[in-house]
Amino acid sequence: MFELTGKTVFITGGGGGIGAGMAQAFAERGARIVLADIELAFAEREAGKLPASAEARAIALDVRDLASWQAASEAVGAIDVLCNNAGISTGFKPLVELSPETFERLMAINVTGVFNGIKTFAPQMIARGSGHIVNTSSMNGLSPFASFAAYSASKFAVLGLSDALRDELSPAGVGVSTLFPGLTRSRMSEADASELTRANMMDPVWLGRAVVRAVEADEPYIVTHPEYRDALADRQARILAAFGEPAQPGYRTGPSATR
């Protein structure tokens, strides 16, 4: 079990929503909290809500900028848990209506931002032989929805990156988990949602507590909204049904080919 008491947890997108929920949950376990956000005032506000025992601090961070990450690393020193949580959405908009600039900005924050965090903090975890990384994907990273193509692309990328990274870092004693949130209260989700949808959003602290349990137990996946299970199962069934005979007649590969 990964002991969190006294450990330092670095959370991006910490100025509200899921990031703030993670901060509260890790603080409940006795961790020290660093809330990073491009809007420093939002991160400072959330840090001020945490108990004094959390030794919470807020820093400004542009996840797109590796130099900004380096400055953050120099400011906070060693960390034990990295939560790559910062992300944006384009809202309900068909892919063909997105500008190239909008698409590039979304990928820079949602995907490159995750890479930059790993590039900055994973080496110290590897050298130490301990640590954990949590990357926030989305239910859109498991089951894509119309009008969210770009967002889904970014969140599928986070899943693929995280699965491969978990295999890469496991021998060094570093864990990796992927979070797949559904509808959760945050500035981003509430801006895109109807009044009825907002009323049915999950409180982010409960996602944070699920993240804490996954880090402690080194769980690979964190699913907080089970109502999406059937849609995922249907999609997976359609993918598996596409596996049939090889496209090339007589093609064989792998151990069974020599038997």
90 and 102 Cβ atoms separated by less than 8 Å: yes
What is the pTM assigned to this prediction?
0.93
Q: What's the pLDDT score for residue 258?
A: 47
The contacts of residue 60 (CB under 8 Å, 6+ apart) are 36, 37, 38, 40, 43, 68
The contacts of residue 150 (CB under 8 Å, 6+ apart) are 90, 95, 98, 102, 103, 106, 107
Please give the distance of CA 234 from its chain centroid, rounded to a whole number: 24
Q: What's the pLDDT score for residue 198?
A: 65
Q: What's the pLDDT score for residue 187?
A: 65
DSSP-assigned letter for residue 94: -
Q: What's the pLDDT score for residue 259?
A: 45
What span, in angstroms and rounded, lies between the C-alpha atoms of 121 and 133? 9
151 catalytic, yes or no? yes
Half-sphere exposure for 73 (CA within 13 Å, toward CB): 18
Q: What's the pLDDT score for residue 121?
A: 98
Collapsed DSSP state (helix, strand, coil) of residue 117: helix
Which of 151, 221, 228, 251 is catalytic? The answer is 151
User: Could you report the average pLDDT of every consecutive run of 10 residues in the chain (259 residues)?
Assistant: 97 97 98 98 98 96 98 98 97 95 98 98 98 98 95 98 98 98 77 62 96 98 97 97 94 65
